[in-house]
Amino acid sequence: MKQNVGRSASVLIAAATPKSGGSRALIVAIVVVVVIIAGIGGYLLVYKKSGTTTTSTAPPPTSSSKVSITVWQDFSTTEFPAFQKALKWFEQNYTNVSVSWVNQTTPAPSTIVSAAIAGRAPNILIGTSDFEGSTLFYHGLLVNISAYVNSSFFSQYASTALSDVTENGTVYAFPLNINGIAMIYNKQLIPTPPQTTNQMIDMAKNITVIQNGKMTTTGVAYGLDTDGGYRFVAWLAGFGGYLFAANGTPTVDTPATVEALEFLNNLTTVYNVQPAGLTSSEWMSLFETGHAGIIFDGPWDIETYLTALGSNNVGVAPMPIVSQTGLRPRPFLGSIAIAVLNHRSSGASAAQIWASIKFGEFMASRTVELQFWNAAGDFPSVTSALDYVMGLNISWAQGFAEQFLNYSQHFINIPQLAYYWTPFGQYVSEFIATNASHISAAQAAADIQNAIVQSMKQNNIAPYFIVANAQVAQKLGASYLNIATTPAERVK
Amino acid sequence: MEDAHAGLLFSIRRNWRAYVYLLPMIVVLLFLNLYPIAYTFYISLTDFGSGGPNSFFNVKFIGLSNYFHIFYSSYYLPQTIALLQNSVVWATGSIAIFIPLGLLLASLLNQPIRGKWIYRTVILIPWAMPAFISLLTWENMLNYEYGIVNSFLNLLHLPSVNWLGGSPLDVWSALFLTNTWLSFPFYTIVFLAAMQAIPSELYESAQIDGAGTWRMFSRITVPYILPTVLFVGITGWLFTFNNFYPIYLLTSGGPGFTSEIFVVEIYQTAFQDYSFAIAATYSVINFLILLVVAVIAIKYARLTQGWLK
């Protein structure tokens, strides 16, 4: 092999060495030209747009020439007609702006981040408020909406919706709707909704059917092992717990987490009212086909269930009170929000950013949000639109509204939230395992907490930080592992 | 030696056009392979994505800190060791099934049987189907409560197995089973082609000399196809070590860390945690492991071939 490498090298060197003869000169010239072209091409391909974010406090004047903006969205099939209609209206109102959209059905978070780092993100992302805040805004990829829009504009939104898109007093997106989960039940199996978890278990036991060792009708279809952590948060609150403290430290390693995990797992192992290993597609299928009494889902799927079971057979109510604690489960109440990517991440011109702001204002307006309500049952974020929806007295809408407005919690948008989802899935699956891999609920809670802390430290998320400089550490009076709890203690 | 050089130079002079035509491909390979590898190594020496706010753009050079972090942290070191163990188990266990199964099926298909072309066609079906669809189908088939695999076991009065969420043995069995389904056609066809290249006169001579089936297989078939087996085995091991989609789609590395391998962890660290620098560090470690293994394996393969000759 060495011999071959040496021989190859000497051949190449011999070939590259200019000698007499026009053909050799031609070879060298071609090689040089190709390398130069490739080098230029490679440089252009990997060139990243640099520069600071556009932080103008006043919008540029309306452009008299055409402005084009792009939108990434992943609206459902029921929402999409409303989106298209709104697009048409917008272009009729803003004749110098043309909007092209991309249906971003692949996992949007990783795609948008990669695109933004390369300076090729779209002008607008329509996505979840927690991701936009905890990742995009945190890393400086979004426009500060507050700098472009008069503060009185935001008074039209429900306070919960506005808090979903606000971080440290800065609004980073326009809220398009509010959403969360509630208890959805099949009235043919569960005529009246349970008020407490003990009632829920009793009702579930009455309707659960096991044939030939298989659960053909399940009382509760939840699926802790494939939850991912989103719906679990509601139950955690019902047992008196929460994910993060006010200073941003994780508070998962608590008795509340242990009790919540054990309760949900007991639905399978003790009460035998739900099968093991349910995926989301399975519990949805079970409910749609009338083989599940109770699920916990949001308004984004309600049209599917109403169509499958009939509107008279689907009920929505707040999640039942946890009998052990007397507390209500409080699901995250988040928003789908319209975020504007800044110049650094999208290469947008000032005119494009202006057009994108106008697009956000237009879409997150009463008229458009009511279109989404009519098409897909999306709850508006504009207060007057929400009041209108409540006034319609639709029973399932009333159920969601009661949960959202009375028994919910703010969908936190701090960066450390990103480090909760993966360890939750990892350690809960070990907790649920019924063999040598099994760990206790207490161990799972501790492991999840530890994983979040380690990720926060690794990624320099406040209040954790890496003190690389010993002198600085001495000055702070803190060791490498100590927790800093105030901004003054953070190392810049 | 000088004569050999002179011959090569002469060849290049005569065929310089061929080398010129190859240049664009070489340049493209440089930019699609060498540049990404070099850039990944560079990222692993920075705090890209893990340096707090704005660290996607305000990237700082931190030297080998990420490597120290992975190898000296009491939290990350056990994780790194587990990743290495799982990756080796995944690659070695898969190849240990693919090669014997491929040889067996190739031997059967190499026999003078009727309708051989039908069997060869049917064998290619799992390979022709999009792997993503196959894996989603397997995921449903392996479901604990409703999957057809457990239903079949129950028919035989055997208990259900939690294939994708049970013990490490259960989980790895499911992963090897699905990976075998996806990969065995390739190995079968390659080994069959190698077997068909063996001159039939050798088998005829052996039969005349009274050699049995096993003797013919071990003394004629194996030596002839050994270079193919070694090449396919080494490249298959390297490919499986980095085979992302079966594990990501079926278990996502779970339950817990049971089936987490390097390439899945790299993806999750980069595109779920956005810690690109740490992901790049894992990538470099992964690359170095495979490079060392490849060099050793190729050297061993050449030695083995020389010994057989």
Task: Tell me the CATH number at B215.
Answer: 1.10.3720.10
Residue reference for tokens 């079949």: B152
Query: Do A102 and A122 touch, CB atoms closer than 8 A?
Result: yes
B-chain residues near A285 (CB < 8 A):
none
Disruptive mutation site among A429, A464, A491 for chain B (greatest number of B CBs within 10 Å): A429
Residue A277 confidence (pLDDT) = 77
Which of A399-413, B1-15, B20-34, B92-106 is most confident? B92-106
Residue B304 confidence (pLDDT) = 64
Residue A259 confidence (pLDDT) = 96
Residue B17, CA atoms < 13 Å, CB-side half-sphere: 1
Residue of B nearest to A21 (CA): B13
Residue A121 confidence (pLDDT) = 93
Long-range interactions of A34-42: CB distance < 8 A, separation 24+ = A34/B23, A34/B24, A34/B27, A35/B27, A38/B27, A38/B28, A38/B30, A38/B31, A41/B31, A42/B31, A42/B35
Model confidence over A226-265: pLDDT tens digits? 777 999 999 999 999 999 988 888 999 999 999 999 999 9
Average pLDDT, rounded, for chain B: 88
Lookup: tokens for B303: 């030695």
Model confidence over A418-467: pLDDT tens digits? 889 989 988 998 898 876 678 899 999 999 999 999 888 888 887 665 44
Q: Do B254 and A426 touch (CB under 8 A)?
A: yes
- Whether cis (ω within 30° of 0) applies to the bond prior to B255 is yes
Q: CA–CA separation, A11 vs A31, rounded Å?
A: 15
Q: Which residues contact B137 (CB under 8 A, 6 or more apart)?
A: none
What separation, in Å, do the N-terminal and C-terminal C-alpha atoms of chain B show? 25
Kindly report the backbone phi and psi dihedral angles of residue A47, in degrees, each rounded to the nearest multiple of 5, phi listed first. Answer: -65, 130
Please report whether residue B26 resides in a domain.
Answer: no
B244 pLDDT higher than 70: yes
Residue B146 confidence (pLDDT) = 84
Please report whether residue B55 resides in a domain.
Answer: no
Between B272 and A463, the higher pLDDT residue = B272
Coil/strand/helix, residue B307: helix
Q: CA–CA separation, A26 vs A387, rounded Å?
A: 78
For residue B138, what pLDDT band results from cuts at 50, 70 and 90? very high
A-chain residues near B23 (CB < 8 A):
30-31, 34
Please report whether residue B37 resides in a domain.
Answer: no
- Choose among B73, B256, B275: nearest Cβ to A437: B256
Model confidence over A183-236: pLDDT tens digits? 999 999 999 999 999 999 999 999 999 987 788 899 999 988 777 799 999 999
Please report whether residue B15 resides in a domain.
Answer: no
Residue A30 confidence (pLDDT) = 66
Please report whether residue B18 resides in a domain.
Answer: no
- Choose among A31, A41, A460: nearest Cβ to B52: A460
Q: CA–CA separation, A221 vs A225, rounded Å?
A: 12
Coil/strand/helix, residue A356: helix
Q: CA–CA separation, A250 vs B82, rounded Å?
A: 25
B191 pLDDT higher than 70: yes
Q: Do B255 and A117 touch (CB under 8 A)?
A: no
Q: Do B5 and A141 touch (CB under 8 A)?
A: no
Residue B257 confidence (pLDDT) = 85
A284 exposure class (CB count in 10 Å sphere: 0-12, 13-18, 19+): buried
Please report whether residue B296 resides in a domain.
Answer: yes
Strands A182-186 and A314-317: antiparallel
B-chain residues near A418 (CB < 8 A):
272-274
- Choose among A116, A140, A277: nearest Cβ to B53: A140
- Whether cis (ω within 30° of 0) applies to the bond prior to A463 is yes
Average pLDDT, rounded, for chain A: 83
B-chain residues near A34 (CB < 8 A):
23-24, 27
Residue B273 confidence (pLDDT) = 84
Least confident of A467-476, B22-31, B136-145, B275-284: A467-476
Residue B6 confidence (pLDDT) = 58
Residue of B nearest to A465 (CA): B52
Q: Do A458 and B275 touch (CB under 8 A)?
A: yes
Model confidence over B194-233: pLDDT tens digits? 999 998 888 888 889 888 888 888 888 888 899 899 999 9
Residue A105 confidence (pLDDT) = 60
- Choose among A23, A426, A430: nearest Cβ to B16: A23
Q: What is the pTM of this model?
A: 0.80
The domain in which residue B265 lies consists of: 69-308
Q: What is the mean pLDDT of residues B87-93?
A: 96
For residue B52, what pLDDT band results from cuts at 50, 70 and 90? confident
Domains of chain A: 67-179+334-409 (3.40.190.10), 182-330+420-452 (3.40.190.10), 462-489 (no CATH)
Residue A37 confidence (pLDDT) = 65
Residue A2 confidence (pLDDT) = 39
Q: How far away is chain A from the Cα of B228, in angstroms, using its nearest Cα?
A: 19
Residue A228 confidence (pLDDT) = 78
Please report whether residue B135 resides in a domain.
Answer: yes
Q: Do B57 and A140 touch (CB under 8 A)?
A: yes
pLDDT tens track, chain A, 492 positions:
334 433 443 444 444 444 445 566 666 666 666 666 666 665 655 544 344 344 444 455 555 678 999 999 988 888 899 999 999 999 999 999 999 998 866 556 778 988 998 999 999 999 999 888 888 998 899 999 999 999 899 999 998 899 899 988 889 999 999 999 999 999 999 999 999 999 999 999 999 999 877 888 999 999 887 777 999 999 999 999 999 988 888 999 999 999 999 999 999 999 999 988 788 888 999 999 999 999 999 998 898 899 999 999 999 999 999 999 999 999 999 999 999 999 999 999 999 999 999 999 999 999 999 999 999 889 999 999 999 998 999 999 999 999 998 899 989 888 888 889 989 988 998 898 876 678 899 999 999 999 999 888 888 887 665 444 444 444 444 333 333 333 333 333
Number of domains in chain B: 1
Model confidence over B142-157: pLDDT tens digits? 988 888 999 999 999 9
Q: Do B52 and A459 touch (CB under 8 A)?
A: yes
Please report whether residue B206 resides in a domain.
Answer: yes
Residue B8, CA atoms < 13 Å, CB-side half-sphere: 16
Q: Do A437 and B258 touch (CB under 8 A)?
A: yes
Q: Do B154 and A213 touch (CB under 8 A)?
A: yes
Instruction: Quote the distance between the C-alpha of residue A176 and its chain's center.
Output: 14
Lookup: tokens for B187: 């190995």
Q: What is the 3-state secondary structure (H, E, C) of B44-87?
A: CCECCCCCCCCCCCCCCECCCHHHHHHHHCCCHHHHHHHHHHHH
Q: CA–CA separation, A229 vs A72, rounded Å?
A: 26
Q: What is the mean pLDDT of residues B169-189?
A: 94
